[in-house]
Structure 1
Amino acid sequence: MNSAVPWDDYCCCVSHDSIKDGCQFPDKIVKLCIYDFDNTLYNSPKPNQSLYGKSLFSALLSADTFYGGGWWNNTAFLSESFSESMRESNKESMSKYWNKNVVEKARISYADSDTISVLLSGRKDHFQRLIYQMLTESREKFGLSDDDLKFNCICLKKASINGEYPTTMDFKRSLLMKLINFFKNLREVVIFEDRINHVNQFNSFFKQSKFSKKLQCSTIHVQPTHTKLDPAAEVNLVERLVEIHNRNNPEMDVSLKWSSARIGFFLNSKSLRSLSMRTKAILKGINHGRFRAYSENNMFIPIAQRDSPIRDAEIVKIWTNNEKYDNELAHGIIKNFYSLHGTEGCKVQFLVIQVGYSSGDKTSRDTEIYYKAIPCDKKRYLWSAYRDFIIVNDIDSESPQDKLNKIKWERLRNPVKITTYFRQHSKLKM
């Protein structure tokens, strides 16, 4: 455990540190380790793009659209993620929320009397209580050691003397310089960061700085990992955010509504990644601008046109694989089916046997990619208003049954097995 040093002796950090009670500095510092918070130390949630229309999704990522800021400025979303982690039933689930490799690196840094460990985040300092709570309660929840999830200094973004820092990187560089100038005996600086553009900017900063000759400086890129909130909880928080915005900005009122529901077989994230990797080679030479975005969207196999409901009896047959059922079971299935928004439904597996792209201008950004699939279990009960099971990009897309002759199809040498969920889905739009 590092020995405590009076806070006032380290005034270089006073203007930046947002949680004074968490700061304990070693006496002799030769190494500085800086850890980014979001998606480096903690697998922070990001908006589930499958739940929102494009305008609302962009607005959530912006700090300027809603009163009090968007997703990254509002404590409610990070707080919900933390609450979900506290409801986990076993200690092994820690890796879902915390990057255990980085947690271990931070533990070693904190335990080393010659090292100062700093948690440095671009989040603003109104997150201070929440982040401190996350560190302390997670340590107990997951049975960690006394040195785990502890830092000599926890720094969040405050306004600079001249106002807000233009960017998170400006803030981080400013604090980094103060730390380097203050700790005169530093011999090494190590930064853990998930954003590759920040990694490159830090490396460039080190190369151009005068102190780089006397210091060994390195930036370690941490592969970012995100979590997703429970869809129902996330939507409730977004609706609450908009409600608060409208109450404080009546002249800039924002209204939300659900899009028309689509019914079909929706691919899970693992299948999306697998499908993308296997088809890139075949589609080499075609512009992949939209193709790359598929992994963030609702790729699915539509079985009916928009606003064309299917009979409840067909829903129950697909759900039960046409097994015998009574009215009570059927009622429960229908209720469950129409209550699903962005969650898993009835699992159905397919084999993707062909990939196709729309004919015409192959270099156009609007090149549409399609996939033709067949059920893995030919005996399983399925229903569709269409002849073929064709995967489309998003719930705003229709099945291309009327233009199949305009699509150039390439057969996959090795079919790709995918997992889908039979459900209905709509998006929240503004």
Structure 2
Amino acid sequence: MNVNLVGKGWFQEPRSLDTSLFPEKNAWHSWWNETTISFVQQSISDPNALTVLLTGRQYSPFHEKIKSMLLSRKLFFDVISLKPDDSKIQWELMYRQPQLSEKFKGKVTDIPANYTTIIYKKALIQGLVKHHPSVREISIWEDRQRHVRYFKRFLDDFIEQGIIEQGTIHVVRCKEKYLDEQSEIELVNSMIEENFIEYEDIIVEDNIIRENNIKENSAIEDTNVNNDDHNSIVFT
């Protein structure tokens, strides 16, 4: 989805993790995928593993909230990576351990403008493999079927190139869980209303610019009709 055209969407909307909707004081009890959590805890306890949280949620609106959520469950990832606000991965922000953060201070990876979530995630994984060349195995837990296919090809390429020896994709099965009905209705309605007002203003501004361009082009055409002494014709 192109958020520049249709708005943020649910997963880029900060209110989707609003503490008034979720029981923060109870560590968001019952909102976690406990099967995945158990794998995370095993990985964190392994001194030879680099445990990474890689999410498509954007840095500025979400990093404090997500850190708070992880702390509530004592999930101490080695790397916490959220989508950068611009087209740059700033590595010192990724690492939890101060020595690694200091080691990669000032190191930046550029990614294409208007990048998608999968492009960002691939760039992050490629960067980590370069930073930690001793890595021989990559395991990814993913709940989006399309991303599962992308990552499968991505890791297969790594294996063919001899970068790693083994790559595994674990498909995360998510049970459906819903907000309180009235809270969800109020939240979604407010998001729709705000999005409509914001993009209505953009559409109005765009129409004004388009009308001004038409007027300018019309004035140029009138001038050209009354002037037969043209030295050239330019096609654009």
TM range (shorter): 0.5 to 0.7
Correspondence for 2:77 among 114, 138, 151? 151
Which residue in 2 is equivalent to 1:63? 3
SS at match of 1:84: coil
Correspondence for 1:84 among 22, 25, 37? 22
Give how far 1:83 is off: 4.0
Distance 1:106-1:64 versus aligned 2 partners, 3 A rule: same
Give how far 1:227 is off: 2.1
Correspondence for 2:51 among 117, 130, 144? 117
Which residue in 1 is equivalent to 2:132? 183
Task: Assess if the C-alpha contact under 8 Å between 1:118 and 1:151 holds in 2.
Answer: yes
Cα distance in 2, alignment partners of residues 200 and 106 from structure 1: 22
Give TM-score scaled by structure 1 length.
0.37
Which structure 2 segments of 5+ residues have no match?
A: 88-109, 204-236
Which residue in 1 is equivalent to 2:38? 104
Structure 2 residue identity aligned to 1:227 = K
Task: Assess if the C-alpha contact under 8 Å between 2:137 and 2:166 holds in 1.
Answer: yes
| Identity within the alignment, % | 26
CA RMSD across the alignment: 2.8
Q: Which has the higher helix share?
A: 2
Correspondence for 2:171 among 221, 229, 241? 221
Correspondence for 2:69 among 118, 134, 142? 134
Structure 2 residue identity aligned to 1:106 = V
Distance 1:63-1:111 versus aligned 2 partners, 3 A rule: same
SS at match of 2:23: helix
SS at match of 2:51: strand
Aligned residue pairs total 178
Cα distance in 1, alignment partners of residues 197 and 163 from structure 2: 55
Distance 1:177-1:97 versus aligned 2 partners, 3 A rule: same
Distance 1:211-1:182 versus aligned 2 partners, 3 A rule: farther
Task: Assess if the C-alpha contact under 8 Å between 1:85 and 1:97 holds in 2.
Answer: no
Give how far 1:120 is off: 0.2
Distance 1:153-1:173 versus aligned 2 partners, 3 A rule: same
Structure 2 residue identity aligned to 1:177 = Q
Higher relative contact order (CA 8 A, sep 6+): 1
Give how far 1:117 is off: 0.3
Is 1:196 aligned with 2:131? no
Task: Assess if the C-alpha contact under 8 Å between 2:51 and 2:77 holds in 1.
Answer: yes
Cα distance in 2, alignment partners of residues 218 and 225 from structure 1: 22
Q: Which has the higher strand share?
A: 1
Distance 1:111-1:211 versus aligned 2 partners, 3 A rule: farther
Task: Assess if the C-alpha contact under 8 Å between 1:66 and 1:242 holds in 2.
Answer: no
Give how far 1:192 is off: 0.8
Which is higher, the Rg of structure 1 or of structure 2? 1
Which residue in 1 is equivalent to 2:183? 233
SS at match of 1:76: helix
Cα distance in 2, alignment partners of residues 129 and 87 from structure 1: 16
Is 1:171 aligned with 2:120? yes
Within-5 A mapping of 1:13-28 = none
Distance 1:79-1:221 versus aligned 2 partners, 3 A rule: same
